[in-house]
Homo-oligomer: A and B are copies of this chain.
């Protein structure tokens, strides 16, 4: 493309990643973005996460749109990436699956101890996202 030639930069190759590698990459970064629908509008929220087997675990505040969604096992998406704008390389991983509130007190307490909130808001609800569909790619030169 003219714009690429003008900039002297060719596009990177996009290599698809397998499920195992995707979950390992996700587990290696502290932060991602959860996507869901609120009042018929799409929403994206950055949050910190942990990966526990086949689930992605995040915190949210009681009464949040996300917490309400999880009461009906709504499907949400969780995306994390590490992309370098200078070299235009890196990776992105997307997990899609049902979100549910973690209600078992011992389990919720364990996750609360592992997932330190970023803000002073009350984010004591624990949401678990099943990694039903896991896709990802790496940009290589």
Contacts and interface: CB of A to CB of B under 8 A. Distances in A.
Interface residues of A, number: 51
A104 interface: no
Nearest to A7: B116
A75 B41 contact: yes
Contacts of A29: 85
A46 B88 contact: no
A77 B40 CA distance: 12
Interface in A89-132: 92, 94, 96, 112-121, 124
Interface of A: 1-4, 6-7, 9-14, 29-31, 33, 35-37, 40-46, 48, 75-77, 79, 81, 83, 85, 88, 92, 94, 96, 112-121, 124, 133, 139
